[in-house]
Each structure stands twice: as structure tokens, then as C-alpha cells.
Amino acid sequence: MQRHDIAIIGAGCAGLTAALYLKRASKDFVLLEKGAPGGKLLTVNEIANYPGFEKVPGFVLAQAIVKSAVDSGVEVTSASVKSVSKAEGGFLVDTDEESHLVKAVLVATGLSNVPSIKGEKALLARGVSYCATCDGPLYRKKDVALIGEGERSLAEALYLSPLANRLLYLTPRKELMGDPGSVATLLSRPNVEIVYEAKALEIKGAGHVESLVYETRGNEKEAAVSAVFPLLGEKSASSFLSPLNLALKNGFVPVDSSLMSAVPGLFAAGDIVSKRLRQAITAAGDGANASAGIIAYLREAKA
């Protein structure tokens, strides 16, 4: 059993920023990460709205954020958190490696994908992918489908359409949502077919994706495609919080202005927070604010 004042779960933009601030304040914490430090940004093709950077590949921004933290002395512990529960004086954080007894927890675990379409899980990594930026080049000159809505899906479709022979873009909406310039660009691409008010029903294939069955305005159709990018199933990565009986809002953690949840000592930052804008800059801002909230909490609790 390890003992620390604070456990930060997730080394994405939010967790790394919190760790940087807490390190600079000489606080005692463990930063737990189940994958590669840098989080979602590692998979983003291009970031064009992070202050101080012109257009920058996501992994370059991620590496810069990791470097700032590591250069300040932050260490990332490789472990997947399985549960967070109440314990004497704070929380017990159980991982696949070991357990940590801490006084405060910062949850910064972002979003994960939950399969919801028939055949999606079975064909994952066999033509089903949640990251067009990462896997799109595998389907150069092929017919592919993307299911989504909003800015993120638009960005992925804009990346994918010049690579693909044909892009079928399924959206549940009556119109495309997002930046008007991006919408206009996508609509102008001759190899993109937008299907409005669409619902994906099944991804079919023997060993690899071969087709997508969908429904639109009462008609069922089947399109032959080599890959499907289902981007509607993103959910917050929060299942390990269930022992705390925390009331979530659509799976996201409601927090106060110091980023503390309804459970005293449990903080959240980044995409997992119930909020309007999920971006790198807001995740970093949450991380900084949460660090100040945690420091104040520990001081007031005289923990």
C-alpha cells in the first residue's frame, strides 16, 4: 500500500497540468496513467486553437505538455485505476498494480468509447476505429463511413475525405453542426455523401468490416465500406467511481468552481467534467484550477 496526499488519475492535458502545478507547489502526489502520457491529444491530427501555437500536430502539443511536467520533476506511474472508494482519512485508489491511500483525488480520465452498434465490438481494430486521424491512412482510396455530429466528427471527416475514395457521413441531425467554414468545406467535397437523420444499425463483416447497415427517414440501407468510424459513442471514463455513489450528469462529473465534486476531496478536471466546451485549453485550465482547489482543500481540512 502506497500513501500520498493526492492521487491524480489520468496523464492527459488536464492531469499533466495539475501535476505540473502541484509539483511546483511541492505537493506530494502520485500520477497514475494506464496508457501513454499525453492522452487524447496524441491521436489528434492538428490543433489550431491552442494559444501560443500555430497549427500543431496533436502529438507535438502532447509531447510539449508532457515535457513541461517531466522537466518540473513530475513522474508518471503506469497503472490502470480499477476503483476509487472512501477510506479512513480520504480515499483508497485501487489499480491493477497496487493500492494508494490518499487524502484527495483528481479524476482526469477524459472520454472513452462504448460500443453501441451491432457488430461494432467484434470488428474493433478490424475496420472499426474511433480515430480517423490515426487509422484513416489505412483506408486510402477505399469507401469508408463515419458516424458522428459536432466539431470533432467534422474535423475527422475533413481529414478522412481526401484520403478515401468515398466518405459516407451519417449524422443523427437534420443539418451539420459545427464551424460554418468546416461545414462548407465538407459539403463541397464531391466524394462525401452526407446522410441526415441517420441511425447505424449494424456493422457487418467476416473478419473485417464489409458493410454498414443504417436507417434514414424510415428507409433501411446497406453500404459496402471497408472501415467504419463510430464517433457517437464517446462516454466519460468514470466507471471506476461507482463505489462512491457519486451522482453523475450523463456520465460526467458535476463540479463547483474549485473543480470539487459533491464528494468532499474528490476533484475532476478536463473532458470528464460536466461542462460546455471540451478542448485542450479548457482541460489545461481545469487542471490548473483543480490544483489550487486541492491545495486549499487540504489546507482547510488540515490533512
Ligand X SMILES: Cc1cc2nc3c(=O)[nH]c(=O)nc-3n(C[C@H](O)[C@H](O)[C@H](O)COP(=O)(O)OP(=O)(O)OC[C@H]3O[C@@H](n4cnc5c(N)ncnc54)[C@H](O)[C@@H]3O)c2cc1C
Name the site residues for ligand X (rule: CB under 6 A). 9-15, 32-35, 39-41, 43-44, 47, 49-50, 80-81, 108-111, 133, 152, 155-156, 237, 240, 270-271, 278-281, 283
| Grid cell listed for 112 | 472513452
Least distance to ligand X, CB of residue 204, Å? 26
Least distance to ligand X, CB of residue 36, Å? 7
How, if at all, do strands 81-87 and 90-95 pair? Answer: antiparallel
Nearer to ligand X, 41 or 104 (CB): 41
Nearer to ligand X, 203 or 237 (CB): 237
Least distance to ligand X, CB of residue 56, Å? 10
Q: How far apart are CA 188 and CA 205, in angstroms?
A: 31
Nearer to ligand X, 110 or 127 (CB): 110
Long-range CB contacts for residues 22-29, cutoff 8 Å, separation at least 24? 22/291, 22/294, 22/295, 23/69, 23/72, 23/73, 23/74, 24/72, 25/291, 25/295, 27/291, 27/294, 27/295, 27/298, 28/4, 29/4, 29/5
Nearer to ligand X, 78 or 216 (CB): 78
Nearer to ligand X, 47 or 195 (CB): 47
State the Cα torsion 155-157-158-164 to the nearest 10°: 150
Least distance to ligand X, CB of residue 136, Å? 11
Least distance to ligand X, CB of residue 255, Å? 13
Least distance to ligand X, CB of residue 95, Å? 7
Place of cell 505540473: 20
Sequence-separated (6 or more) residues with CB below 8 Å from residue 16: 31, 37, 38, 39, 65, 66, 68, 69, 74, 287
